[in-house]
A and B are shown apart, each in its own frame.
Chain A
Amino acid sequence: MNTEIALFLIQDGLTNGAIYALLALALVLVFAVTRVIFIPQGEFVAYGALTLASLQLGKLPGTAWLLLGAGLAVAVLELVQALRLGLVRRVPLILLKYLVLPAALLALAWWAAPQKPALTLQVLLALGLVVPLGPMVYRLAYQPLANASVLVLLIISVAVHFAMTGMGLVFFGAEGSRTPSFSDAQWKLGVLNVSGQSLWVMGSSLALILALLLFFEHTIYGKALRATAINRIGARLVGVSPAMAGKLSFTLAALIGALSGILIAPITTIYYDSGFLIGLKGFVGAIVGGLVSYPIAAAGALLVGLLEAYASFWASAYKEVIVFTLIIPVLIWRSFTTHHIEEEEE
């Protein structure tokens, strides 16, 4: 291996690592706020990438129909609940949020897709179609079980992952897609060729992390999420609704997931089930941080990206084996450094 290859692999590793870091942050966020280990994060990556790919082909993405269907299911649940509690005044808002909005997005996508709008508009439309699925999934699958144990919530997550992967197959088919790069620019930096796309990825990741930081530090909703993460009951007593915190954290996770998908789609071919492995690599990073520390999770995810880049150079067939076996030394290390007292659950 010469310096050129080594540098290229570092660039490649950091590019992928930046995406894993984003996912790791979202996983830590969701776990801290809701205690949900968010396995379906990967499906949002795949949905984001494939929705954008459909739009670029001028086709109506299947996620538009999925959004309408999920909206319908949520609307039914919410209406039943509202009527049972006698809160008729809530009905118009429920209809607006869960039926009119998804229908409007479907109509917009139907009208806009064949005209192939500018890339920025396509990205915004793709996010608009995928991100609302986040809170809807929370409402449908997790909210009724919000007080269950971490393990029950984890099994729910795996079930949701199963269902969403299957739906991905229905709506996007078995063929993979790769979207054109955001930028074809290449810069020569010494012996290294820096590609515009990897700058895009790293830049967007950094920007998103900064935006999250500002959100958590300076907005009331960000503070509410932090409060919930630190003390669920305490936050509830001062008026932070757990359902709101859950939906908000899932919205953020869906946004991060879909955006990661959009960023990674020009680098690698995405299939309906590719998200799972990508999401899990974020997980390996998050576990390095013990599912609680944001900076260590991000560093762990970068490490996963680098390891993957070098593994694919040295032993490409064993790439996945090496990346996922990394979890074993991490677990050994954690098992000797944490003194855990088993909390009683259920």
Chain B
Amino acid sequence: MSRARMALGLFLAFLLAAPLVLPEFHVTLLNYIGLYSIVALGLVLLTGIGGLTSFGQAAFVGMGAYTSAYLCTAYGLSPWLTLAIGLALTFAVSLFLGFITLRLSGHYLPLGTIAWGISLFYLFGNMEFLGGYTGISSLPEINLLGRTLDTGREFNYLIWGLVLLALWSMRNLLDSRSGRAIRALKGGGLMAESFGVNTARMKIIIFVYAALLASLSGWLYAHLLRFVNPTPFSINAGIEYLFMAVVGGAASVWGAVVGAGILTVLKQWLQDLLPKLLGQSGNFEMIVFGVLLVLLLQRAREGIMPLAVRYFPAPRKQLPVASRQLQRRSQPVAGEPLLTLNGVRKVFGGLVAVNDLSFSMSSGEILGLIGPNGAGKSTVFNLVTGVLPLTGGEVHFRGTRLDTLSARAIVPHGVARTFQQVHLLPTMSVLENVAIGAHLRGKKGVISAALRLERAEEAMLIADAARQLERVGLAASMHEPAGSLALGQQRVLEIARALCADPVLLLLDEPAAGLRYQEKRALAELLRKLKSEGMSVLLVEHDMDFVMNLVDRLVVMDFGEKLAEGLPRAIQSDPRVLEAYLGGVI
């Protein structure tokens, strides 16, 4: 049995036994740790993994707590019904807030969360029907399977049952098609978009998910204490939740429990110690928390979990067995017209980067687009892949106009790309990185992922990723973190990821840049092999040696214009090309 399994087993045994044997005070502490863990778990997803920060989670906790408190006491509704209403309300509010802030740059969300965190706190405190600052008391108890949960000891099982459920579903989610898209949000947004991930939608999803977890925690809190007032939902509480997620770190979903545990126990201890030490009463633990967090971010930005993960290594996962293969797109017959650029033009301010460029390529061909530095090759690449909008002209691909589509909408037509500077998620495994390429070939969403209802599809996606790694010769490194590969292998990984999108046309942006001689030869070998399998490739490159023996045809660009077009041999002796590369005749 692995160390991780053993630790989990011990922890579960502790949770079962704790309410029976621990003194009242410790059971209460354990209850709070559970409540905070649920909120912190949402923040681990939102902040640690998704790279979005919220200081306003306490307001969502309050929304869950107050909805239930008010509806239960004023209308005598069942707590289970009010849970559903509270979650629905939180869903609507967080969807609205997410929609208006997540379109803006990163720091507007946290600032926005601070602002509405404060305004909701004052709203709770000033609404007559919510009991003002004195709050609402005498909430009903929760009835679970015919038992009334009227002591902290019994409630403990409900809380920790839900914590474990939340942890389980979060782990499932992260290990899925949607999970890979979510993990790409931080540092891989552009890459994810060019494989069809709607990153704006993913951000809203994780924001709403975190808000719903907070609301659930609020409902539990309200019925545990059977009393609510505004204080625990203030902005300071929201800040402490974020501290928990940062202290724990995002290396594992357990970071939420570890962070919540450490901060809750530390706070309890400091609240006893500091007032005695300073001879006055007050929230002096704030000082320690603040200083601690600054030091943590300066010294160990990933939190505590990376250390723990090293000590409890997860057992290597077996490749799932797929019952059938992913459906493949019908490939065109060789020689069919594929990509046509017609008078493509791009102007940056006063600079004409691409000046009415036209060329076309047919299927089964490797076409090289070359030119000296600054010729506009990469701009052309970005125009074809939808990263930049065109100033004029048209791009057609198998009868579809591409130049009006965004990067995300181009992938489904069978165009997949690599990046000049590799865009990988270094901590994710090679296999998972490649599987992002297959994003659009799966359909199952977040909910089925969290509940493990998408395993058949997931197995097919992973199997296809493994097959592409086999195809490019990287299968041996499948389970390594992508960041541990050499640059040449990372470039090949990017090709495997593009292949995973089942493309008709592969667009490679300077794949040989920065590679050593041997790596270049291996790459050329791979591209020849792909061509023999019927793949069409458009290659942007400035390394003449690399392309000469590889491509079928060349288009040469200089100063944004097409200089020459033809077979490599003819290009090699073209005086205009020689002049552009080697300088004019004196």
Contact = CB atoms under 8 A, between A and B. Distances in A.
Q: Tell me whether A and B are bound partners.
A: yes
Interface of A: 37, 39, 140-141, 144-145, 148-152, 154-156, 158-167, 169-170, 173-174, 277, 280, 283-284, 287, 291, 317-318, 320-321, 324-325, 327-328, 331-332, 334-335, 338, 340, 342-346
A335 B104 CA distance: 6
A174 B278 CA distance: 13
A150 B55 contact: no
Contact of A320 (B122, B189, B286): B122
Interface string B290-308: 1101100110010000000
A21 B288 CA distance: 32
B101 A335 contact: yes
Given A324-B119, A340-B105, A37 B111 contact: yes
A291 B105 CA distance: 11
A318 B119 CA distance: 9
A318 B128 CA distance: 12
30 contacts: A39-B114, A140-B294, A149-B106, A150-B106, A151-B51, A154-B107, A155-B246, A158-B242, A159-B289, A159-B293, A159-B297, A162-B236, A162-B286, A163-B294, A166-B283, A167-B287, A170-B280, A287-B111, A320-B119, A320-B122, A321-B119, A324-B119, A324-B122, A328-B100, A328-B115, A334-B104, A335-B100, A335-B101, A335-B103, A345-B51
Interface in B257-293: 278, 280, 282-291, 293
A5 B450 CA distance: 58
A318 B297 CA distance: 37
Contacts of B285: 166
A165 to B, nearest CB: 6
Contact of B186 (A145, A318, A346): A346
B126 interface: yes
A23 B116 CA distance: 20
A342 B298 contact: no
B282 A169 contact: yes
Interface of B: 51, 53, 55, 97, 100-101, 103-108, 110-112, 114-116, 118-119, 122-123, 126, 186-187, 189-190, 199, 236, 239, 242-243, 246, 278, 280, 282-291, 293-294, 297-298, 301
A5 B242 CA distance: 44
Contacts of A325: 115-116, 119
B286 A165 contact: yes
Contacts of A328: 97, 100, 112, 115-116
Contacts of A332: 100
A156 B280 CA distance: 27
A155 B53 contact: yes
A342 B189 CA distance: 8
B569 to A, nearest CB: 41
A24 to B, nearest CB: 13
A249 to B, nearest CB: 17
Given A37-B107, A318-B122, A166 B287 contact: yes
B284 A166 contact: yes
A344 B53 CA distance: 16
Contact of A151 (B110, B236, B288, B289): B110
Contact of A170 (B110, B199, B287): B287
A159 B297 CA distance: 10
B115 A151 contact: no
A155 B100 contact: no
A169 B283 contact: yes
A163 B286 contact: yes
B53 A151 contact: yes
The winner among B115, B118, B189, B298 for most chain A CB atoms within 10 A is B115
A173 B284 contact: no
B104 to A, nearest CB: 5
B482 to A, nearest CB: 16
A260 B189 CA distance: 41
A225 to B, nearest CB: 20
A117 B294 CA distance: 38
Contacts of A170: 278, 280, 282, 284, 287
A164 B110 CA distance: 20
Contacts of A321: 119, 122-123, 126
Given A280-B114, A284-B115, A317 B286 contact: no
A287 B108 contact: yes
Given A284-B115, A344-B189, A344-B190, A161 B110 contact: no
A284 B199 CA distance: 27
Given A151-B53, A328-B97, 13 more contacts: A155-B297, A156-B293, A158-B239, A159-B291, A163-B287, A163-B294, A165-B286, A280-B115, A283-B111, A324-B122, A325-B116, A327-B111, A338-B104
Contacts of A163: 286-287, 289-291, 294
B104 A345 contact: no
Q: 8 tightest CB-CB pairs across the interface, nearest first?
A: A163-B290, A166-B287, A162-B290, A166-B286, A159-B293, A324-B119, A327-B115, A335-B103
Nearest to A150: B107
Contacts of A334: 104, 108
Contacts of B297: 145, 148, 152, 155-156, 159
Given A163-B287, A334-B108, A340-B104, A277 B118 contact: yes
B289 A145 contact: no
Given A155-B242, A317-B126, A160 B115 contact: no
Contacts of A318: 122-123, 126
A342 B202 CA distance: 14
A160 B126 contact: no
Contacts of A327: 111-112, 115-116
B116 A145 contact: no
A155 B114 CA distance: 12
A210 B301 CA distance: 41
Contacts of B294: 140-141, 156, 159-160, 163
B200 to A, nearest CB: 9
A156 B292 CA distance: 10
The winner among A159, A164, A331, A345 for most chain B CB atoms within 10 A is A159
Given A163-B291, A169-B283, A154 B53 contact: yes
B152 to A, nearest CB: 29
Contacts of B97: 328
Nearest to A329: B100
B195 to A, nearest CB: 16
Contacts of B105: 340, 342-343
